[in-house]
Amino acid sequence: MDYDRYDRIRAVQWQGDHLRLLDQRLLPREERWIDCADASHITQAIKDLAVRGAPAIGIAAAWGVALAAKQGEPLDEVLATLRAARPTAVNLMWALDRMKKRIAAGADAEALVREAQAIQDEDLAANRKMGELGAALIRAHSGVLTHCNTGSLATAGFGTALGVIRAGVAMGRIDHVYAGETRPWQQGARLTMWELVRDGLPAQLIADSAAAHLMKSGAVQWVIVGADRIAANGDTANKIGTYQLAITAKYHGVKFMVAAPSSTVDMATGTGEEIEIELRDPAELLSIGGQRTVVEGAQAWNPVFDVTPAELIDAIVTERGVIERPNSIAMQAMFGW
């Protein structure tokens, strides 16, 4: 795998005394960095989607705790505020629990910096492993469809679903990539296409509503998505629109893969029914790029994740291995509890 070609973006960068984030709200128009000087600034960046994507949120939060420790802030409060920043992606809670455990064990600020760095490094390694495992499931010369942004921007680097796609292209298994726009925030159009074009991968954007027509055409053999939380039975919360892709894939005989690190697996949550789905400001739906597109006075409902039942998933790929046709027993065998 030529990582120099396929793994060049680092959107979360520790600078020794602050955290630098590539502002995802401005891409692809502008590559502007935000320097977060304290944990509250990091919390705000998570809430506002300046940093987004389940693993990247967890990594940024871990750095928030390390930064707070260096600045002598009350860590219990910092942990609670960061935890409340967004509800669905469990990587946030997972990273904070890991930092909390180190604090309880008496770790000082420098030890917490090392822990945050370990969380970031392990995520990159997990993505590279998932790339190999996921790409191995795909037949040569396949077409794939992905949703949202699951690439370097959403992780420590390389990506989850996009990591599988990068590896699949590098290994000659994927000939063509389709990316859905991912309304309303357009992570697919604005972020995934930015990554794919930078890497020179053969990709085309589709409107979210073109997915069924695309699958019917026979051009895609796999839908490959990331995850924000995987329950103990394999039910998977991911960006809104994922569920309808899984239903459509099943109808058309297209395979459906979820790629996510084990930090996204939440064995304390029995099924997808128990996963809290983030509802965001309806205003995100009422305008595009700051331009109002809907009549004044209109209302909107804006859930930003949905749950795909395990029975619609052909493979869950984590760095620990692949679970085909996931269910509670297979999840328990791989992740224990």
CB of 183 to ligand MRU, least distance (A): 12
**Sequence-separated (6 or more) residues with CB below 8 Å from residue 72:** none
Report the interhelical angle of 90-104 vs 75-83 (nearest 10°). Answer: 170
- Pairwise CA distance, residues 229 & 246, whole Å: 16
Q: Is 36 exposed, middle or buried (0-12, 13-18, 19+ CB in 10 A)?
A: buried
Of 195, 228, 306, 319, which lies in the binding site for ligand MRU, with binding defined by CB under 6 A? 228
Catalytic residue (one of 7, 199, 228, 235): 228
Are residues 204 and 188 in contact, defined by beta-carbon separation less than 8 angstroms?
no
Contact (Cβ atoms closer than 8 angstroms) between residue 76 and residue 29: no
DSSP letters, 104-132, are HTT--HHHHHHHHHHHHHHHHHHHHHHHH
145: part of which helix (H) or strand (E)?
A: strand 142-146
* Span from 60-68, 100-108, 220-228, 265-273 in contact with ligand MRU (CB under 6 A): 220-228
**226 is a site residue for ligand MRU (CB under 6 A):** yes
Position 229 contacts ligand MRU (CB under 6 A): no
- Is 35 catalytic? The answer is no
The answer to whether the CB of 173 falls within 8 A of the CB of 140 is: yes
Tokens of 196: 């794919």
H-run or E-run covering 252: helix 242-252
Name which position in 19, 144, 148, 189 contacts ligand MRU (CB under 6 A): 148
Q: Are 285 and 184 in contact (CB under 8 A)?
A: yes
Binding positions for ligand MRU, 267-296, rule CB under 6 A = none
Contact, 38 vs 11, CB < 8 A?
no
Instruction: Quote the least distance from Cβ 50 to ligand MRU, whole Å.
Output: 11
The interface region with ligand MRU, picked from 1-9, 47-55, 211-219, 327-335 by CB under 6 A, is 47-55
Least distance from ligand MRU to the Cβ atom of residue 336, Å: 23
190 near ligand MRU, rule: CB under 6 A: no
CB of residue 190 to ligand MRU, shortest distance in Å: 10
Give CA–CA dist 91/62, Å, rounded.
10
Residue 43 found at the interface with ligand MRU (CB under 6 A): no
Cβ proximity to ligand MRU: between 113 and 243 the closer is: 243
Q: Which is nearer to ligand MRU, 112 or 266 (CB)?
A: 266
Regarding 52 and contact with ligand MRU (CB under 6 A), the answer is yes
> Taking a C-beta distance cutoff of 8 angstroms, is the pair 160, 154 a contact?
yes
| Binding of ligand MRU by 189 (CB under 6 A) | no
The nearest distance, CB 280 to ligand MRU, in angstroms, is 8
Q: Does 126 bind ligand MRU (CB under 6 A)?
A: no
Task: Tell me whether residue 7 or residue 228 sits nearer to ligand MRU (CB atom).
Answer: 228
- Rule CB under 6 A: choose which of 18, 128, 239, 255 binds ligand MRU: 239
By CB under 6 A, name the binding residues for ligand MRU.
52-55, 89, 148, 150, 154-155, 160, 187, 226-228, 238-239, 304
Catalytically annotated residues: 228
